[in-house]
Amino acid sequence: MRLVLPMPGNEAFAARLAAASGAELGRVETRRFPDGETYVRLLSATKGRAVDLVCTLADPDEGFLRLAFAADAARDLGAASVTLVAPYLAYMRQDKRFHDGEAVTSRTFARFISSTFDRLVTVDPHLHRYPGLEALYTIPGAVLHAAPLFSDWIRAHAPDALVVGPDAESEQWAAEVARGAGVPHVAMTKQRLGDRQVRVSLPDLSAYAGRRPVLIDDIASSGRTLVAAAEALRSLGFDPPDCLVVHALFAPGAYEQVTAVTSRIVSTDSVAHPSNGIDLATLMAVALAD
């Protein structure tokens, strides 16, 4: 029987995953020594078993080292395989050197993960300039998509939607979500001016007057993309939009800013957040069984 092992903070998601996949839910103990170093102990037997270490990577700098310790311990103790189940995969956005001297952290992080795990299962990684995970990761990976779940949500909650994608690159994605829901779509154009500054513009939306805008985005971090989009829609006479977000990272204060200018915000549970409303455990359980 597969063993699902949650890293700290991932217990609730791991319990849903274990239930959905008929796997055993194990336990990992971690704590800090007085000098700040990390103690890790696996409280479930891994010998001969396929082990799924569950760790969403919304706070990777804090959690990576203990995750690597747990993966190595599982292997040391005889695990047949060690899979990283990371509903959110971090360090995908610094995918090129924008300024002289910058670290291309997506490549370095991929090397760390690839040397630590046998396989990676994740949802909608931010593949902006990379064609696929295999361009970065040397281990097999399963990339799952929330688009069908977004379509289901729109069909159930906003059948009069106009799907609005966050940028030109997301046009295909917005089209897929809209097609699944049987509604029209458009994509904004976006210019990022800084970590917390974006400028967006919308195409001519006069044909869609009266529709309910539903903004979709893979990541909400500073929240500026969603805020700028909501403001642009308001200036065209639309009601506050609904927002569907795959990865609800929401930096401090960001959720409140987005809430102030939008209607409903619904995210997947890839990162635990009050906006969670779309469950990924079933989707991930199917991938793990393959």
Residues that bind ligand R5P (CB under 6 A): 128, 166-167, 198, 217-225
Q: What single-letter amino acid sits at 34?
A: P
The string of DSSP codes covering 112-164 is HHHTT-SEEEEES---SSSSSGGGT-SS-EEEE--HHHHHHHHHHH-TTEEEE
Q: Which is nearer to ligand R5P, 42 or 198 (CB)?
A: 198
Q: Which is nearer to ligand R5P, 2 or 224 (CB)?
A: 224
181: helix, strand or coil: helix
Q: How far is the CB of 157 from ligand R5P (least distance, A)?
A: 22
Q: Which is nearer to ligand R5P, 48 or 194 (CB)?
A: 194
Is residue 54 a contact partner of residue 281, using CB atoms and an 8 Å limit? no
Query: Is 47 known to be catalytic?
Result: no
Backbone angles phi, psi at 70, to 5 degrees: -65, -40
Separation of CA 34 from chain center: 33
Exactly one of 16, 126, 185, 190 is catalytic; name it. 190
Q: How far is the CB of 225 from ligand R5P (least distance, A)?
A: 3
Q: Which is nearer to ligand R5P, 7 or 220 (CB)?
A: 220
Is residue 125 a contact partner of residue 270, using CB atoms and an 8 Å limit? no
Q: How far is the CB of 224 from ligand R5P (least distance, A)?
A: 4
Q: How far is the CB of 226 from ligand R5P (least distance, A)?
A: 6
Catalytic residues: 190
